[in-house]
Each structure stands twice: as C-alpha cells, then as structure tokens.
C-alpha cells in the first residue's frame, strides 16, 4: 500500500475517535437522545476496525482479517441501529444483532476458505446495504427536520456508493483470490469519502440533537405535564390576535365536585380523573380541535370552522362519555361528571378573551342548573 493510503487510514481513525468521544460526551450531558449513544458506539467500533485493518495490510492473516471484518460489521450495525432508534424511539437491539450476524455469516466463510477477494467483495456489498438502510431510516423520518436529515441521507448514500465502487472494481478485475488487502483507486476514494461522511454526518447529528433538545424544551413549556394537553400559555399564544369569526366555538368544561374527589380519595385519584377526562377529549375530538387545560379541573375545547349544532353534539358526547367512564381508584372504581358551556364567535365575541368569557358564563349556567349538563351562551 502507498503511504498516502496509510495516512488516510490514520485520518479516518482520528476523525472517528474524536467524533465518537464528542457524541458520547453530548449524550452523557443529558442522557436523552439515545440514538447519539448508539451512533457513538458504532463509530467507536470503526476506530479499532481501522487499526486492525492497518495490521492486516502489513500481515494479511485470516485471524486479523476476520477481526477487522467483525469490527466493521459491528460498527455499521450500530450506525444502522442509531438511525432506527432516531426514527422510532425503539432500542433496535434485535435489528443490530440481526444485521451483525447476517453480515458475519455471509462474508467470513469466504475469508476462512481462502477466497479473500470474494470476502472483500461481500464485505463492501454488505456495508453498502447497511448504509443504504441507514439512509432510508433517516429519509422516513425527514419530516421532523427536512434540511439536516436530507443532508445526512445524501452523505450516507455517497459513502454507500464509495463502498459499492470498491466491490465493483474487484468484480470487474475478477479478484476472487488476492492474498493481500485490496489496492486500487476505489479504496483511496472510499477513505476520502468516509472521512468527509463521518465529519459531515457527525456535525449534522449534533445539530439535529440540539434542535431536538430545543424542541423538547419548547413543548414542555407549552404542554400541561399531567394530561399532555396544551396549557393556558400555549392556548393564548395560538389564538390571541387572531380574528374570532362566527364559525369558531369555545367549549369550557369544569369537572363537577372535583374537590370532593381529592378530599375523599386523595390527590393521586384526582390526577387520574383529570387524565381520564383528557383522554375522553382526545377520543371525541381527535384532531379536529384545540384542546387545553387551563388549570385545576378547568378545560377548554376550541373548534375552528364549525357550526353550532356540531359544537353542541361534541360537548354532549364528551359529557356523556365521561359520565359513563368507570375510573379505577385503588381497588374500586368511581364515576364523575362534567359541566360545559358553549360560546360562539360573532359580534359579542370579537376577541378570544371575550369568547372564553362567554363560554365561562354558559358554564356557570350549567353549574347553577344542577351540573352534568351543557349550556349555550346567551
């Protein structure tokens, strides 16, 4: 091998080590995005693989070659697992193990049997498949952050293409048995592309992690921690300043006798009741409404572009479904009811504040009328 090739090997090893350490430190600081940990493990396996491959170049023995193959397969299996975990949130341990086992079974027998050229062809084809599968996982999850994820996909595909070129050259030359490591233009190109790919993907992965962390903090600030619905701040940020037309409706809800639930069964039971009611809201409204918890046992549903009879049907169904729920509290179950008030946009509700105020007035009418009912604003 030419000295330039050894220099490239050293460069990719150093780049991989630095990136693996950076990704691991980033994950360690928060321990939130575990795909970074998986990615750092994958790159961490590539580093010793480069070292062992350098030894194989100097002394091409079967044992050293098998070790270099296994470390590469392990690294790229973890890199694929990181992409799968990023998209799905699942650990993907079985997938990582399956990819690693399949790669080892398909390639090592050729190396052990003396067909080292065929083994290297299989190695490059399998790594190409791993990288394409990795790019596919990120492509499927690109809606989360289109620009950086598209860049990551392109870099993975370019790296995959460089490995495919390595296999293609060996096939074209008919190098089924070599007795040494591959030595051609495609190998040099592969190392150059791998160096660029590692640094580019690493930088974009770190940026993607920061984007996810910032998004998580923003969602936490705008979401009620107990029910997962929007909080008061998020609701007003969404509607304050927006025109309130006669096709918008607000339904205010207040759980009946909620204080007695806390007094008799404890605050944990009260939290359970609130979560059950939030689930009823989601089940009935699905994605057609804005759902928020204003605080305590007060909730609001805002319906855009709706007719009065539809708003009344939704409010009545929520009321009836919640009243029919058996809510498990310890070893027993309880039932609760809710009162509601509906207000519509128009001349009397020219702002979102006034719309909610009218809905609250209608809600108090339900409370005074005996609870567990729906009332319309005057």
Residue positions annotated with a catalytic role: 297
DSSP 194-218: HHHHHHHHHHHHHHHHHHHHHHHHH
Strands (E), the chain: 249-255, 290-295, 298-303, 327-329, 332-334, 338-344, 374-376
Alpha-carbon distance 296 to 99, whole Å?
50
Decide if 80 contacts 134 (C-beta within 8 A). yes
φ and ψ at residue 251, rounded to 5 degrees: -115, 115
- Integer Cα distance of 6 and 90 in angstroms: 38
Strand partners, 328: 333
Determine whether 368 is exposed, middle or buried from the number of CB atoms within 10 Å of its CB (0-12, 13-18, 19+). Answer: exposed
CA 282 – CA 317 distance, rounded (Å): 12
Full DSSP string of 44-62: HHHHHHHHHHHHHHHS--H
Query: By C-alpha distance, which of 170, 36, 166, 39 is closest to 96?
Result: 39
- Cβ–Cβ < 8 Å for 280, 322: yes
Cβ atoms of 130 and 82 within 8 Å: the answer is no
Residues 6+ apart with CB under 8 A from 217: none
- In whole angstroms, give the CA distance from residue 137 to residue 153: 9
User: Taking the mean position of all CA atoms in its chain, how far away is CA 132?
Assistant: 20
In DSSP terms, 252 is beta-bridged to 300, 341
């Amino acid at each position: 091998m030419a000295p330039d090739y050894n220099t490239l090997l050293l460069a990719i090893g150093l780049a991989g080590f630095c990136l693996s350490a950076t990704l691991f430190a980033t994950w360690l600081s928060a321990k939130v995005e575990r795909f970074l940990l998986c990615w750092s493990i994958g790159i961490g396996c590539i580093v010793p693989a480069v070292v062992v491959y350098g030894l194989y170049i100097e002394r091409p023995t079967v044992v050293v070659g098998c070790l270099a193959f296994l470390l590469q397969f392990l690294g790229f299996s973890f890199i694929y697992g990181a992409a799968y975990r990023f998209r799905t949130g699942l650990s993907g341990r079985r997938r990582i193990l399956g990819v690693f086992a399949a790669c080892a079974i398909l390639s090592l027998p050729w190396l052990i049997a003396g067909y080292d050229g065929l083994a290297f062809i299989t190695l490059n084809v399998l790594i190409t498949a791993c990288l394409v599968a990795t790019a596919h996982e990120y492509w499927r999850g690109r809606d989360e952050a289109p620009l950086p994820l598209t860049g990551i996909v392109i870099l993975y595909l370019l790296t995959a293409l460089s490995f495919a070129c390595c296999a293609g050259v060996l096939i074209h030359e008919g190098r089924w048995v070599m007795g040494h490591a591959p030595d051609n233009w495609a190998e040099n190109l592969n190392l150059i592309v791998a160096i660029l790919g590692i640094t580019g993907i690493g930088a974009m992965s770190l940026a993607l992690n920061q984007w996810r962390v910032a998004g998580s903090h923003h969602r936490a600030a705008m979401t009620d921690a107990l029910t997962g619905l929007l909080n008061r701040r998020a609701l007003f940020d969404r509607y304050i300043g927006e025109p309130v037309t006669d096709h918008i409706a607000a339904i205010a809800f207040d759980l009946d006798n909620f204080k007695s639930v806390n007094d008799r069964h404890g605050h944990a039971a009260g939290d359970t009741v609130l979560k059950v009611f939030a689930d009823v809201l989601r089940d009935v409204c699905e994605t057609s409404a804005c759902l928020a918890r204003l605080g305590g046992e007060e909730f609001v549903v805002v319906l855009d572009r709706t007719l009065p009879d539809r708003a009344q049907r939704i409010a009545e169904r929520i009321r009836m479904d919640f009243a029919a729920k058996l809510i498990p509290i310890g070893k027993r179950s309880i039932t609760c009811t809710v009162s509601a008030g509906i207000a519509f946009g128009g001349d009397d509700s020219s702002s979102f504040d006034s719309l909610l105020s009218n809905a609250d007035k209608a809600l108090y009418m339900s409370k005074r009328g005996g609870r567990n009912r729906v009332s319309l604003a005057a």
